[in-house]
Amino acid sequence: MKNITVLCFDYAFSSVITGFLDLFSLAGVTWNRIHNTPSQRLFDIKLASQDGEPVRCLNNLLIQPDCAISDIRQTDIIFIPPIGGNIERTIAQQVKTVQWLQEKHEAGSQIASSCTGTFLLAETGLLEGKQATTHWGYIDQFSERYPTIQLKPEQLITNELSLLCAGGGSAWLDLSLLLIEQHYGHDIAVQTAKTLVIERKQHSQTPYFTNHGQKYHKDAEILDIQQWLEEHFADKINIEQLGSRYGMSSRTFKRRFKLATGDTPLSYLQSLRIEIAKKMLESGRLPVELITQQVGYSDSSSFMKLFKRKTGISPQAYRQAFSHTGQGIKSLERRSTE
């Protein structure tokens, strides 16, 4: 039997804590009961907080942990749920937890984080030079705070074997199934998924992204250029000459823009236009050809290829999933491989 410790802290997502607890408690049990074979609990799970005291979750639910983290002598897996409150405050309040995570990982524990919980894992320094993912809405903040981590926001899960991260929302379900597969094999993971009716997703969260402007930097001139691009995205823009508006050579402009935003000016403009197009697809029935023109492109075929490259799905599939008259997320999952 494998031992799992689920971290509990104030303003965590209670649904993820209790959902994770239920899922791993049922692994190896419910499937066997359904098929009239002997049940076998595969995981022993404990809830632990920094001091063993109750924690009040984001939805005001009070959770009483089983113990303090210092009471955990040995654990195979440590799970960090999403931070639902102020991230900086939570990190500041969990200094002992961060140190404990470092010690347990050194002793051989596998650590898995979900959504914004990856910030706590990143604080340990264990992810330096390694891949990680987090909720798409916090990628700028994460990149600014942890520049040495290879952030892969397009990935639903990053797997560094002893350090795993899941993206936003319900990605913890896929992460849980992956952990079960790693420790007990593919068949047990599939049985668990079938028992709980969990549909394994495409391993990407890019269709859900919204452009936050990548403005977590202090380069005032680049911020002005970003603002100008937001106001003139539909114009015919010469990237080579854009920096001259602010007295920069093309080479200096591109270097500073990349340093400030983490993206090239061209890729940034493309993402900005795609974001506007996504809003048009969500809110109306304009033909894709007309949307193409309104976001600054003349060739709808090239635009559709760009849209799919940036989001992972076609404009038509995006509209079907996210418009008011679309068929929702199931449509997105069906058509994401088209």
Give the separation between CA 337 and CA 319, rounded to whole angstroms. 15
Give the separation between CA 196 and CA 10, rounded to whole angstroms. 28
Answer with the one of 146, 179, 208 that is the final residue of a domain: 208
Q: Is residue 214 a part of any domain in this protein?
A: no
Q: Which domain holds residue 95?
A: 2-208
pLDDT at 329: 42
| Count of domains for the chain | 2
Residue 142 has pLDDT above 50, yes or no: yes
Q: Give the rounded distance of the alpha carbon of 301 from its chain centre.
A: 30
Q: Give the rounded distance of the alpha carbon of 278 from its chain centre.
A: 19
Residues 129, 105 share a domain: yes
Residue 328 has pLDDT above 50, yes or no: no
Residues 262, 176 share a domain: no
Helix (H, G, I), strand (E, B) or coil at 79: strand
Residues 171, 82 share a domain: yes
| CATH number, residue 111 | 3.40.50.880
Residues 163, 32 share a domain: yes
Q: Is residue 77 a part of any domain in this protein?
A: yes
Residue ranges of the alpha helices (H) in 69-145?
Answer: 87-93, 95-106, 118-123, 139-145
Residues 227, 191 share a domain: no
Q: Are strands 157-159 and 163-166 parallel, antiparallel or unpaired?
A: antiparallel
Residues 153, 275 share a domain: no
Give the separation between CA 170 and CA 240, rounded to whole angstroms. 42
Give the separation between CA 9 and CA 238, rounded to whole angstroms. 50
Answer with the one of 166, 181, 208 that is the final residue of a domain: 208
Residues 196, 106 share a domain: yes
Q: Which residue has the higher pLDDT, 209 or 301?
A: 301
- pLDDT, tens digit (0-9, with 9 covering 90-100), for 145-186: 999 999 988 888 998 889 999 998 788 999 999 999 899 988
Residues 18, 45 share a domain: yes
pLDDT at 333: 45
Give the separation between CA 75 and CA 135, rounded to whole angstroms. 26
Answer with the one of 179, 208, 237 that is the final residue of a domain: 208
Q: Is residue 213 a part of any domain in this protein?
A: no
Q: Is residue 25 a part of any domain in this protein?
A: yes
**10-19, 35-44, 249-258, 324-333: the lowest-pLDDT one:** 324-333
| CATH number, residue 247 | 1.10.10.60
Which pTM value belongs to this model? Answer: 0.67
Give the separation between CA 249 and CA 262, rounded to whole angstroms. 19
Residues 325, 192 share a domain: no
Q: Is residue 215 a part of any domain in this protein?
A: no
Residue 324 has pLDDT above 80, yes or no: no
